[in-house]
Amino acid sequence: MIERAHVLICSGSNCISRGAKSLRDEFEDNLNRLGIRDEIKLVNTGCVGLCEQGPFVIVYPEGVFYAQIKSKDVKSICDEHLYKGRIVEKLVFDEALTPEKEVKAFDEIKFYSKQTRVALRNCGLINPDDIEEYIARDGYRGLGKVLLEMTPSEVIEEMIDSGLRGRGGGGFPTGVKWKFAHNEVNDQKFMICNADEGDPGAFMDRALLEGDPHSILEGLMIGGYAIGANKGYIYVRIEYPTAIEKLKVAIKQAKEFGLIGDNIFGSGFNFDIEIRLGAGAFVCGEETALIASIEGARGMSRNKPPFPAVSGLWGKPTIINNVETLANIPAVIHNGAKWFSRIGTEKSKGTKVFSLGGNIKNAGLVEVPMGTTLREVIYEIGGGIPKNKALKAVQTGGPSGGAIPESLLDLPIEYETLVAAGSMMGSGGMVVIDEDNCMVDICRFYLEFTVEESCGKCTPCREGTKKMLEILNIISSGEGTLEDLAFLEKLAGSVKNSSLCGLGQAAPNPILSMLEHFRDEFEAHVVDKKCPGGVCKPLINLHVLENCIGCTKCAKNCPVDCISGSLKQMHKIDNSVCIKCGICKNVCPVDAIVSI
Amino acid sequence: MNKISMTINGAKVSVPKDYSVMRAAEEMGVIVPRLCFLKGINETSSCRLCVVDVKGMRGLKNSCTLAVQDGMEIETDTDEINAAVVSNLQLLASNHVFECWACEREHNCELLDLMRKYDVENIYGESKNFDKKERLINDSSLSIVLDSGKCILCGRCVTACEKQAGLGILDFNDRGNETYVGPAGFHNMEDSGCIYCGKCIQACPVAAIKEKSEIDQVIDVLKDPTKKVIVSAAPSVRVSLGEEFGSKIGENVEGKMYTSFNKLGFDEIMDTSFTADLTILEEGTEFINRIQNGGKLPLFTSCSPGWVNYIEQYEPEYLDNLSSAKSPQQMAGAVSKHYFAEKLGYNKEDVVFVSIMPCIAKKHEAHRPEMESDGVRDVDYVLTTREYARLLKRKGIDFMNLEDSKAYGNLAKYSGAAVIFGATGGVMEAAVRTVSEILEGKTTPIEYKQARGLAEIKEATLTIAGIDVNIAVVHGGSSIKHFFEIMKKSDKQYHFVEFMACTGGCINGGGQPIHPAIVQDNNDIRSLRAKTLYEMDSSSEKRKSHENQFVMNLYEEWLGEPGSHKAHSLLHTHYKKRDFYN
Amino acid sequence: MKSLDDLKRIRDAAQKKVTMRGKNDGIRILVGMATCGISAGARPVMNKFVEEIASRDLEKVTVTPVGCIGECAIEPIVEVLQGEERTTYCRVDIEAVERIINEHIVGGKVVSDHVIGKYRI
């Protein structure tokens, strides 16, 4: 009996953390009970991307997209939909239902129809633990093509023509980088996959490793062939145990199929892949520190030049590529450089995966062609900001990036345009910030991260980031002055100019970009001693508005009894006693308490 | 000729293509600030002070390791660069404990020098808004002290220990702004596997690593009317002490040194060169004994306490190869207490022996429990060359303007063979001069140039009285490591090996004057100092240890003969295996 | 894996595992299920369709149960959607399944005696 329906259960880390693990067993039990287990294929698949609305269950062939599924929901899906054919509308993702209650297929949902999934082509569609499903969707055809029909130089030319640029943040043309290593004469070369994804909130690489690990293996080997390497390392951060497991399974299966090892496809090409684990250092995502770590040395960045392509791991020519870059490569080779270069813009070809987060309805992973505007991503795909709040800024590039104000929201997403706006693409983090946030506080958040993660080798980063954080703390506390702002800007400039590696060079970016676009907010902190976003506690003055209904809830909950007022009367806060905890604001049923 | 043409600050210059931008700038007289670069040792570009602007490149680049390219355009003095340099100096100063008036490196501190040049304000250190890092001090060892309050995390000591000592005792601990330098977990130095060669101290641009001071104890004892203080300096001291007062590198200031001893009020002056000759007699005899009576070969010299620390901790199976002779320092102490004291009419308990040394391991050696007889310590205090200079400065003695004087005692007379102890190969050459004459029974050559020079491992085969004697001279911790690897794998029978813990020998010891990195990079300090010692040897009347009449008198009068029972009880010692990280 | 042909063989065999998860734009066979359909015997009909498709290795043909189509008196009801054409069959039994597969799905000709109506959407 061949299966007539496929039920895909999203098993990416985000959905697992929301309880997806038990769903599989629930399906097994219910389908067995109904006697239709053999008709249905159950597949644990990788991250589907709409993480805010997970856990997901997608039923094919209809493409019905069930969202926020709990264990108790499985019974109705089985009884009603799988047995009786009646789609359970109340469990369907709200954007997948038309006003007439018609159910849109998976690829018709605006969240997905506006995306172009190249890197994520298999995520959410295949069982990552089954190599045959990868092969069924054209997996390893790219590798076969390069090994049997192309020379290494031709592969490199194809990559250059495609215009694929590094997706880890550097944006360096992948083909050009490969060419440098290819041109080095050495009997030992290495490929390294940088899976030490460290930007807070970014999980594009994790989703790819968990959902489509073979694409990374294939991309790594295509690169190995192009540069003349026979060994590849995948450096995964140890905080990704599921990704590590999936990679191990994938490598084992690929070896069994003769796709990793000696004489692959009978071409004479040998390649071996080894996994190396990180140990909790963001700096080891920087390529020279990563190399140091694999060598067993302390994870500290090294001077460039020499560049790794010339002298890298153990002094040998080494290419380090990001996970997302590698995931693109099999598709580029299989479909051709022309196909890829038709997606995107002139200087930024292809697509980019973003981890959309912050104050946004559809938080999760999205992949869009380069050139899509920020507005489209946030409002059409992302579903806009909850509670209809105003957008203050979009932060891109994680702790290395900057904030883009609402006025620049129609910027097309490209490497150069984001840099010109004072930010950068980075690895793909995109955080939406609404009006109730403070830019000074957000700067502090990023600097706290950078201070913690600085390796400590060079003076400006080791000492300078801490000083910048301390100055931000002073500004946030209300004790800052305009001179402190000027000094902060100067210090940030020197740290950016003179740091040894990308971590230190980019650490001041949040500060510099926010001073450029949100200077008035900083000045409000030091001149007016106010926090416009209502976040910095010492600067908050809580105030009861006229729509107070006198319910006394605030007064009853105030830990320091600083709210006066009787039942059904206007209440008043004594700011001299108030400790700015914000509890009154949270409990007010009519939003009558604001910070001014 | 492989040269390229480039522009620095608007001026065209042609330099070899293997130059760095920093070196190219130096050639045309432009000195960029630097704190972490130490040529051939530390090239990690972590201080970020040597940054320059390179046309066409984003941001500022460190010039210390940046290779020159044809057509490169460099600016070293823009506003942006100055802002970065000043900012980085301020950041370094922020956690620094400034006690310059009391600091050992006040006169040659590379940080202070730059703070002055750039007129840097200590804005962070002086403000209550910024945290100061916790100060960690590691000072339980007898020889060496680490002080994180002064450390600028340049990493020069880390790579010096890794590359020169071959041991890697020091490394960065923790991460980010919590980073500190020391043994793992800041374990105490005496139990960390350190051999006290002091290459870390010589690499340090500030006073974050230094010797354990004994200056105050010496001042106290000089003031004590009940004590008779005898002072004795090693060969190397006299060709480097002047450098602490601005002399040329390797200048012979022996005469001034003796005068200064008198000025400070030492009661008697001995010379460790005298006991160097004595050591040759003892060790030479030991060697001849082993050759003729099937004793343990090869014989390893044992006068370098850093080397003895190495073999005890890392190659204890070879302890029996060590000569049992004490070092010249220890022999000098023993002779002063058990022979000289009585001659001078002192009670040996009232005699205090102060040794001036180019070495910090000598402090640990002097305080070894076994280095005493009759309840009386051989050596009481050891001052490094640097400490002695500091003492002189504290007492306001204008050293370079002192008149020369001689030491008149019999125990301050030495041969040319003794004075070359300070250079690598010197002990071997001195020993061969004596041993060959004894074995051949006739006058033999004086000079053995095969033992000289800075090659990592020097080997030769000398035919002495018909025997082919295989000698080797090894200097520096990593060379010692390398030599053992070779020796263990080789079939060659070595007979006599000289080991020194410091490359170049004692003249490059851990207690020697320290020069700023730029001076170390551009001068062959070891060769300059060694050269003076070899010149002193050439111009000596007596050039062989056994020709030192006063040493022969000592045997006649007191010890009997080399290797006698008395000699063994006072002038020989024993060693044992040592573990670390207990 | 010694050649591209080896890969192709695995791919072709494995295609069946994943083609269903794409755009559902081939021939869609909808079998009216829900309680009434089940009691009318629609399940064996649906399973027969699945079996036939499998044994003939037909590509791009999916079978899905759907809720009540209406016309309960003439169940089991099967709708065949092909492009813009929708053919509704009624009183479909096992024999009819075979005919629909042979004549309509494979042959391209509607089985007129089981049809309720055929019209363009």
Q: What is the CATH number of the domain that holds C66?
A: 3.40.30.10
Burial per residue of B280-299, b for 16 or more beta-carbon CB atoms within 10 angstroms, e otherwise: bbbbbbbbbebbeeeeebbb
The answer, yes or no, to whether the previous bond of A99 is cis (omega within 30 of 0) is: no
The mean per-residue pLDDT over the stretch A473-496 comes to: 96
pLDDT band at C59 (very low <50, low <70, confident <90, very high): confident
Active-site choice (B323, B336, B415, B545): B323
Residues B227-239 have a mean pLDDT of 97
Active-site annotation holds for B151: no
DSSP B235-294: GGGGGTGGGGGT--TT---HHHHHHHHHHHT-SEEEEHHHHHHHHHHHHHHHHHHHHHTT
b/e map of A55-88 (b: 16 or more CB within 10 Å)?
bbbbbbbbbbbbbebeeebbeebbebbbbbbbbb
| Least confident stretch, A2-16, A93-107, A204-218, A465-479 | A93-107
Residue of chain C nearest A135, judged by CA positions: C11
Q: Which residues pair with A444 in a beta bridge?
A: none
Q: Across the interface, do C47 and A1 touch by the CB < 8 Å criterion?
A: yes
pLDDT computed for residue C75 by the predictor:
82
Peptide bond into C76 cis (omega under 30): yes
Residue C2 lies in a domain: no
What is the C-alpha R_g of chain B? 25
Query: Annotated catalytic residue: which of B27, B121, B126, B370?
Result: B370
- Of chain C residues 45-84, which have a CB less than 8 A from chain A? 46-47, 50-51, 53-54, 62-68
Looking at the domain assignment, is residue C30 inside a domain?
Answer: yes
- Average pLDDT of span B414-422: 97
Which of B83, B95, B155 is the closest to A490 by Cβ? B83
* Residues of chain C found within 8 Å of residue A62, distances taken between Cβ atoms: 24, 64
pLDDT of A1 strictly over 60: no
Measured in angstroms, the CA of A282 and the nearest CA of chain B are apart by: 11
Whether A492 and chain B come into contact, CB under 8 Å, resolves to no
Annotation says B204 is catalytic: no
CATH of the domain at B32: 3.10.20.740
Asked whether residue C92 is assigned to any structural domain, the reply reads yes
Q: Are residues B260 and B282 in the same domain?
A: yes
Among A39, A44, A51, CA closest to A25: A44
Whether residue B236 is found in the same domain as residue B167: no
How many percent of chain B have pLDDT more than 90? 97
Residues 6+ apart with CB under 8 A from A69: A23, A55, A56, A57, A77, A91
Distance (Å, whole) CA A160 – CA A329:
12
Contact B176 A462 (CB under 8 A): yes
Please report the domains of chain A, with CATH numbers, ordered by start residue.
5-109 (3.40.30.10), 131-341 (3.40.50.11540), 351-434 (3.10.20.600), 439-528 (1.20.1440.230), 541-595 (3.30.70.20)
Range of the domain at B196: 94-211
pLDDT tens track for C92-107: 889 999 999 999 988 8
**Catalytic one among B210, B256, B362, B363?**
B362
Q: Please tell me the pTM assigned to this model.
A: 0.91
Q: Is C14 within a domain?
A: no
CA dihedral sign of residues A368, A370, A372, A374: positive
A463 to chain B, any CB pair closer than 8 A? The answer is yes
Q: Which of residues 69-98 of A touch C (CB under 8 A)?
A: 82-87
Would you say residue C65 lies in a domain? yes
The pLDDT tens digits of the residues spanning B83-117 come to 999 999 999 999 999 999 999 999 999 999 999 99
Look at residue C6 and tell me if it is in a domain. Answer: no
Interval B441-458: pLDDT, tens: 999 999 999 999 999 999
User: How confident is the model over C77-97, as a mean pLDDT?
Assistant: 89
Closest residue in B to A454 (Cα) is: B176
- Comparing CB atoms, the residue among C4, C15, C54 nearest residue A265 is C4
Distance CA B526, CA B105 (A): 21
Question: Which of these, A229, A233, A219, lies nearest to A326 by C-alpha position?
Answer: A219
Residue of B282, B365, B437, B547 with catalytic role: B365
Provide the shortest C-alpha distance from residue A490 to chain B (in Å). Answer: 8
ipTM score for this prediction: 0.92
What are the residues facing B357 on neighbouring strands? B384
Cβ distance of A498 and B88 shorter than 8 Å = yes
Ramachandran quadrant class, A209 (left: phi over 0; alpha: psi -120 to 50; beta: rest): alpha
- The angle at the Cα of A365, spanning A362 to A371, to the nearest 5 degrees, equals 100
Burial class (CB in 10 A: 0-12, 13-18, 19+), A551: middle
Active site residue B303: yes
Average pLDDT over residues A467-488: 96
The amino acid occupying position C95 is: E
Of the three residues B25, B48, B77, the one that is the final residue of a domain is: B77
Confidence of residue C70 (pLDDT cuts 50, 70, 90): confident
Residue bearing the bigger pLDDT, C72 or A384: A384
Q: Is C24 on the interface with A (CB under 8 A)?
A: yes
CA distance C62 to chain A (A): 7
Mean of pLDDT values over B161-171: 96
Same domain, B220 and B341: yes
Report, in this order, helix, strand and coil percent for chain B, each rounded to 5.
Answer: 45, 15, 40
**B110 is annotated as an active-site residue:** no
Record: contact B65-A303, CB cut-off 8 A: yes
Residues B337 and B482 in one domain: yes
C66 DSSP β-pair partners = C32
Residue A505 contacts B, CB cutoff 8 Å:
yes
Instruction: Please name the residue that has the structure tokens 């043309």.
Output: A173
Are B173 and B34 in a shared domain? no
pLDDT digits (tens, 9 = 90+) for A53-99: 889 999 998 889 999 999 999 999 999 999 988 999 999 998 888 88
> How far apart are alpha carbons A384 and A405 in whole angstroms?
15
Point out the least confidently predicted range of A153-157, B98-102, B279-283, C65-69: C65-69
Q: Does residue B342 form part of some domain?
A: yes
Mark whether B534 and B561 lie in a shared domain.
Answer: yes
Q: Which of B385, B351, B371, B381 is nearest to B234 (CA)?
A: B385
Domain presence at residue B83: no
Where is average pLDDT lowest: A9-23, B201-215, B470-484? A9-23
Return d(Cα C42, Cα A313) in angstroms, integer. 65
Residues B276 and B345 reside in one and the same domain: yes
Residues B159 and B235 occupy one common structural domain: no
Burial A178-191 (b: 16+ CB within 10 A, else e): bbebbebeeeebbb
The answer to whether A447 faces chain B, any CB pair under 8 Å, is no
**Cβ neighbours of residue A393 under 8 Å, at least 6 residues apart?**
A403, A404, A405, A406, A433, A439, A517, A518
CB contact under 8 A, B60 and A467: no
A271 pairs with which residues across the strands?
A261
Range A384-398 average pLDDT = 93
Q: Which residue among B88, B130, B175 places its CB closest to the CB of A460?
A: B88
Q: Chain A: nearest CA to C109, how far in angstroms? A: 24
> With contact defined as beta carbons under 8 Å apart, do B514 and B202 qualify?
yes
The yes-or-no verdict on residue C89 having pLDDT over 70 is yes
Q: Which one of C23, C54, C65 has the shortest CB-CB distance to A84?
A: C65
Give A233 to chain C, closest Cα distance, Å. Answer: 22
B556 part of the active site: no
Q: Is B413 a catalytic residue?
A: no
| Strand A190-195 to A231-236 pairing | parallel
Average pLDDT, chain C: 85
Cβ atoms within 10 Å of A97's Cβ, excluding its own: 17
Residues A237, A205 contacting (CB under 8 angstroms): no
Q: Tens of pLDDT along B118-152?
A: 999 999 998 989 999 999 999 999 999 999 999 99
Asked, for residue B82, whether it belongs to a domain, the answer is no
Mean pLDDT for chain B overall: 96
* Closest to B60 (Cα-Cα) out of A503, A489, A490, A498: A498
A291-316 average pLDDT score: 95
pLDDT, tens digit, 9 for 90 and up, residues C12-46: 988 877 888 877 788 999 998 878 888 888 999 99
d(CA B203, CA B164): 10
* B369 & B492 share domain: yes
With 0-12 / 13-18 / 19 or more C-beta atoms within 10 angstroms meaning exposed / middle / buried, residue A277 is middle
Determine whether the interchain pair B59/A493 forms a contact, defined as Cβ–Cβ distance below 8 Å: no
Cβ-contact C60, C94 below 8 angstroms: no
End-of-domain residue from the set B52, B77, B102: B77
User: Helix, strand, coil shares of chain C as percentages rounded to 5?
Assistant: 50, 25, 30
Domain range enclosing C37: 22-112
Domain count along chain B: 3
| CB neighbourhood size of B87 (10 A) | 26
Is there a domain that residue B87 lies in?
Answer: no
* Inter-chain residue contact B46 with A500, CB threshold 8 Å: yes
> Do B201 and B224 share a structural domain?
no
Question: For the residues of A105-128, what is the DSSP string, one character each?
Answer: PGGGSHHHHT---STTSSTTTS-T
CA–CA distance, B436 with B287 (Å, rounded to integer): 11
**Is B362 part of the annotated catalytic residue set?**
yes
Query: Cα(B289)–Cα(B495) distance, rounded to whole angstroms?
Result: 12
Q: Tell me, yes or no, whether B347 and B490 share the same domain.
A: yes
Q: Is C7 contained in some domain?
A: no
Structure confidence by residue, pLDDT tens digits, A255-286: 999 999 999 999 999 999 999 999 999 999 99
Predicted confidence at residue C121, as pLDDT, reads 45
Residues of A in contact with C9 (CB under 8 A): none
DSSP sequence for B378-400: S--EEEEHHHHHHHHHHTT--GG
List the catalytic residue out of B214, B251, B268, B283: B283
Any idea which of A55-59, A507-511, C47-51, C68-72 has the lowest mean pLDDT?
A: C68-72
Do B112 and B67 have their domain in common? no
Which one, of A376, A371, A391, lies nearest residue A431 by Cα? A391
B131 and A467 in contact by Cβ < 8 A?
no
Taking residues B185-204, report their average pLDDT: 97
pLDDT tens-digit profile of A26-53? 999 999 999 999 999 999 999 888 888 8
Predicted pLDDT of residue A245? 95
Task: Tell me, yes or no, whether chains A and C touch by having 3 or more C-beta pairs under 8 A.
Answer: yes
Q: How confident is the model at residue A111 (pLDDT cuts 50, 70, 90)?
A: confident
Q: Out of B211, B239, B260, pick the residue that ends a domain.
A: B211
Residue B99 maps to which CATH number? 3.30.70.20
Give the pLDDT band (50/70/90) at residue A580: confident
Distance from CA of C2 to the nearest CA of A (A): 4
Closest of B421, B426, B487, B435 to residue B453, by C-alpha:
B426
Assign A3 a pLDDT band (cuts: 50, 70, 90): confident
Mutate which of B18, B36, B46, B49 to test chain A, going by most A C-beta atoms within 10 A? B46
**Can you tell me the mean pLDDT for B267-280?**
96
Contacts of B143 (CB under 8 A, 6+ apart): B189, B196, B198, B211, B212, B360, B361, B363, B364
Sequence length of chain A is: 596
What is the Cα–Cα distance from B33 to B62, expressed in whole angstroms? 11
The whole-number pLDDT of residue C21 equals 84
CB–CB contact A498 B130 (8 Å):
no
3-class DSSP string for A179-192:
HHHHHCCCCCCEEE
